[in-house]
Amino acid sequence: MQQKIRILGISGSTRSASLNTKLLHALSKLAPSNVEIEVLEGLEKLPFYNEDFEGENLPGSVAELRQKVGAADGIIISSPEYNYSFSALTKNTIDWLSRPYSKGVLSDMPVAITGASPGVLGTVRSQNQLRQVLHATNSKVLSRPEVYVGGAHAKFDEDGAFADEAGRDMLIQLIDNLVTLIEQTRENLPSELAS
Amino acid sequence: MQQKIRILGISGSTRSASLNTKLLHALSKLAPSNVEIEVLEGLEKLPFYNEDFEGENLPGSVAELRQKVGAADGIIISSPEYNYSFSALTKNTIDWLSRPYSKGVLSDMPVAITGASPGVLGTVRSQNQLRQVLHATNSKVLSRPEVYVGGAHAKFDEDGAFADEAGRDMLIQLIDNLVTLIEQTRENLPSELAS
């Protein structure tokens, strides 16, 4: 029997019609039966990162998020591009997950990134900056495929499924490669930690 | 008589002992008598940027911030570096100020950037990413001096003044160059707008 793989989706937007949230839900529909992709909610309720809140003052929302992400096998981040970069919501989520220093749950975590926009560039500038951030967090970031979902407003059907065939193949490849990376990460764990 | 120049300081941190907030206050002390540098407060009360809140639903805090920044002559941004990039608080402030598209108050705004950290690199990676963001906002970003305040925890005296002589000269140069940029911007305005 194939082992269940649990992936969390982080959307960098809470806009009601967010293309990036839509993209994560579409990815969830494309995942094979042994892979579950759950889109995280409520990230906009975290405070802005502030070291004063670490330790005794840690907000419950942060503690809960760290625990949930720490228990996951991998992450897919889909952020809108604002001003050639990722959203503050994306960055804030990553910053909280990256601390405390050297104990953050993003370290060694398999991560895939993507992003959707109405324009043709599909968040390429934002994703480039995000790769630098995820290098800092010591995450295992998938290099390929690079998935820049341009013209995204026209790529979902009424049920929210991804309707563009070439793009859909890339999304499936993104999940496949992330799953492979997760499996490789597990194989490298000491056997008592692999589960 | 020299014309009064009003500059707003944006700190990317609300930590109580923030080195970046301290740096902005130290800059304020170094400004010549005709230049006022006011450090903005309460930026952590803005919601995360969300296009759904534009128009009728615009939070009062955002409207107030846009008005205040729009009335200023220039800005100095000092952001901490988290994970090789600017803080979410910095990015969120900029994103709100950059909208609505093509009408944001950051367009053509003279902006100086700096940043402080305890390590030796002094936020250089964060500032490099920030320059790309401020290119997107069409701001007039000062290229020189580049001021990376490393070892910042040891560079303030008991009253919060900047105590490192070589660094102080660079900070004074930063203000001088920003003031020159502001004056050049004014000269290029149609005369009925210059005030």
As a whole number, mean pLDDT of residues A84-100 equals: 97
Residue in the block written with tokens 């597990």: A186
Cα separation, B71 vs A2, whole angstroms: 62
Q: Indicate yes or no: CB of A84 within 8 angstroms of CB of B136.
A: yes
- Tally of helices (H runs) and strands (E runs) in chain B: 5, 8
Residue B9, Cβ neighbours under 10 Å: how many?
Answer: 22
pLDDT at B195 over 60: no
Cβ neighbours for B109, distance < 8 A, ≥ 6 positions apart: B69, B72, B74, B75, B137, B139, B140
pLDDT at A191 over 80: no
C-alpha dist (Å) from residue B189 to A12, B140, B169, B182:
38, 14, 31, 11
pLDDT at A2 over 70: no
The pLDDT assigned to B99 comes to: 96
Range with the lowest mean pLDDT among B71-85, B99-113, B158-172, B180-194?
B180-194
Class of domain B5-186: alpha beta
Q: Indicate yes or no: CB of A136 within 8 angstroms of CB of B83.
A: yes
Mean predicted lDDT score pLDDT of chain B: 95
The pLDDT assigned to A186 comes to: 85
Determine the residue of chain A that is closest to B130 in CA distance: A85
The pLDDT assigned to B156 comes to: 98
Mean predicted lDDT score pLDDT of chain A: 95
pLDDT at B60 over 80: yes
Chain A residues touching chain B at CB-CB below 8 Å:
13-16, 44, 47-52, 82-89, 91-92, 94-95, 98, 125, 129, 132-133, 135-137
Q: How far apart are the first and last CA of chain B?
A: 14
Q: Which two tokens stand for residue B106?
A: 């950051």
The pLDDT assigned to A190 comes to: 65
Cβ neighbours for A66, distance < 8 A, ≥ 6 positions apart: A96, A97, A105
pLDDT in tens, B63-104: 999 999 999 999 999 999 999 999 999 999 999 999 998 889
Burial class (CB in 10 A: 0-12, 13-18, 19+), B126: buried
Nearest to A49 by CA among B129, B97, B37, B85: B85
Query: Model confidence at A94, in pLDDT bands (50, 70, 90)?
Result: very high
| Residues constituting chain B | 195
Rounded to a whole number, what is the distance in Å from the CA of A107 to chain B's nearest CA?
12
Nearest to B79 by CA among B123, B43, B143: B123
Q: C-alpha A128: how far from its chain's center?
A: 15
Q: Which two tokens stand for residue B48?
A: 């995360």
The pLDDT assigned to B2 comes to: 66
As a whole number, mean pLDDT of residues B115-131 equals: 98
Percent of chain A with pLDDT over 70: 95
In chain B, which residues have their Cβ closer than 8 Å to the Cβ of A13? 50
Determine the residue of chain B that is closest to A47 in CA distance: B44
Rounded to a whole number, what is the distance in Å from the CA of B169 to chain A's nearest CA?
30
3-state SS assignment for residue A171: helix
Rounded to a whole number, what is the distance in Å from the CA of A79 to chain B's nearest CA?
13
Query: Model confidence at B191, in pLDDT bands (50, 70, 90)?
Result: low
The pLDDT assigned to B193 comes to: 58
**Pairing verdict, β A74-78 and A5-11:** parallel
Cα separation, A187 vs A178, whole angstroms: 14
pLDDT at A105 over 90: yes
pLDDT in tens, B37-58: 999 999 999 999 999 999 999 9
Helices (H), A43-139: 60-70, 88-97, 124-136
pLDDT at B194 over 60: no
Q: Indicate yes or no: CB of A129 within 8 angstroms of CB of B125.
A: no
Report which secondary-structure segment, H or E, holds A78.
strand A74-78
In chain B, which residues have their Cβ closer than 8 Å to the Cβ of A129? 85, 129, 132
CA atoms within 13 A on the CB side of B163: 10
Q: Which two tokens stand for residue A62?
A: 């942060």
pLDDT in tens, B134-154: 999 999 999 999 999 999 999
As a whole number, mean pLDDT of residues A36-64 equals: 97
The pLDDT assigned to B107 comes to: 97
C-alpha dist (Å) from residue A14 to A22, A54, B41:
11, 25, 25
**Pairing verdict, β A147-149 and A140-141:** unpaired
pLDDT at B192 over 70: no
As a whole number, mean pLDDT of residues A77-90 equals: 98
Domain boundaries, chain A: 5-186
What does pTM read for this prediction? Answer: 0.95
Cα separation, B162 vs B173, whole angstroms: 14
pLDDT at A51 over 80: yes
pLDDT in tens, A122-150: 999 999 999 999 999 999 999 999 999 99
